[in-house]
Structure 1
Amino acid sequence: MHKKTGTILAAATAAALTGGLLVAAAGPVAAAPGTDGDFDGDGHDDLVVGAPGEDLDGIKDAGMVSVIHGFEGGLSETGTQALEQGTPGVPGNSEENDGFGGEVLLSDVTGDGRADLTVGVPWENSANGYAVVFESDGSRIGTAGRGIGLTDAGLSSEGYPLFGFHVNG
């Protein structure tokens, strides 16, 4: 079994056993009030799983995020998305120890009533960190992410900022 498939299957099994929204990542994760983890607006919770230790194309700990859509009967493999920095539209490049998906947050950043996705990449650029915001297009998470780095956030690179290590909405 490939590492990506194992991650997705483990998350789907856990969600089925708990009977509700389950969002898993390396750190604390929350769904913002009112969005209920529903990316596609169908009234069913969807699942996001961060896998910051995922090795991709020989790149150790590049990281990825899986987005699994829910339906009346639970979760469906149909339409599952795998996002990583090698995905067209996602800012940055997959690099060793980036940890893409080290933190994930579901929140409605566009105000349309559907959950959007923020992904923390805390070990990006020698632990300066980075965050990427993905908007829901109404049927799935769009892959044209908006990157936010230290300069955008008004932070310096003194020490190890780990920007994106903890994301709150």
Structure 2
Amino acid sequence: VMRGSATGLTTNGMRTISQSTPSVPGTNEKGDQFGGALRLIDTNRNGKAELIASAPGEDTNDGAAWVFSGTSSGPAATGSWSFNGATLRAPYLDARFGETLAP
């Protein structure tokens, strides 16, 4: 995750989040495609955007998405949570849930 500045993107404060990051649910597996789609959205309207990251290849192409809380220093791994088609009681086998995160 890179922050923006008045002159564009900056590496200051840059952080990497993956399924191997402490506090992130799940396990990094070959073919997950974690980060296949990303979206910043202020879901709770507190002025800090949450990061939604998907892994459409998770669990042999069933797919899943993770929510990282927005903080003043950017998205936080602590308190992150995940969901998928089964969580939403939707068809999920080979659904590639989260392949697209539409506005």
Q: TM-score, normalised by structure 2?
A: 0.89
Would you say the 8 A contact 1:84–1:90 is kept in 2? yes
- CA offset digits 1:18-64 (Å, max 9, x no partner): xxxxxxxxxxxxxxxxxxxxxxxxxxxxxxxxxxxxxxxxxxxxxxx
Deviation at 1:76, TM superposition (A): 2.0
CA RMSD of aligned residues (A): 1.4
Unaligned runs of 5+ in 2: none
C-alpha deviation, 1:74, in angstroms: 2.5
Matched, 1:143 2:84: no
Matched position secondary structure for 2:23: coil
CA distance in 2, matches of 1:166, 1:135: 20
Gaps of 5+ in 1: 1-66
2:5 alignment counterpart = 71
TM-score normalised over the length of structure 1 = 0.56
Question: How many aligned residue pairs are there?
Answer: 102
Aligned with residue 28 of structure 2, among 78, 91, 94:
94
Point out the structure with the larger strand share. Answer: 2
After TM superposition, give the deviation of residue 150 of structure 1 in Å. Answer: 2.3
SS state at 1:135 partner: strand
* Superposition deviation, residue 146 in structure 1: 1.2
2:9 match: secondary structure? strand
Q: 3-state SS of the aligned residue for 2:12?
A: strand
- The list of structure 1 runs, each at least 4 consecutive aligned residues, that deviate by more than 6 angstroms after superposition, is none
Answer whether contact 2:18 2:34 (CA < 8 A) is retained.
yes
Deviation at 1:100, TM superposition (A): 0.3
The percentage of counterpart residues that share the same residue type is: 29
For the residues of structure 2 that align with 1:89 and 1:156, how far apart are their CA atoms? 28
**Residues 1:124 and 2:62 aligned together:** no
Deviations 1:125-155 (A, max 9, x none): 0100000011111222111321012221112
Greater fraction of residues in helix: 1
Residue 68 of structure 2 corresponds to 134
Residues 67-76 or 102-111, more deviating: 67-76
Q: In 1, are the aligned partners of 2:84 and 2:92 still within 8 Å (CA)?
A: no
Contact 1:110 1:135 (8 Å CA) reproduced: no
Q: Pick the structure with greater CA Rg.
A: 1
2:87 maps to amino acid: D
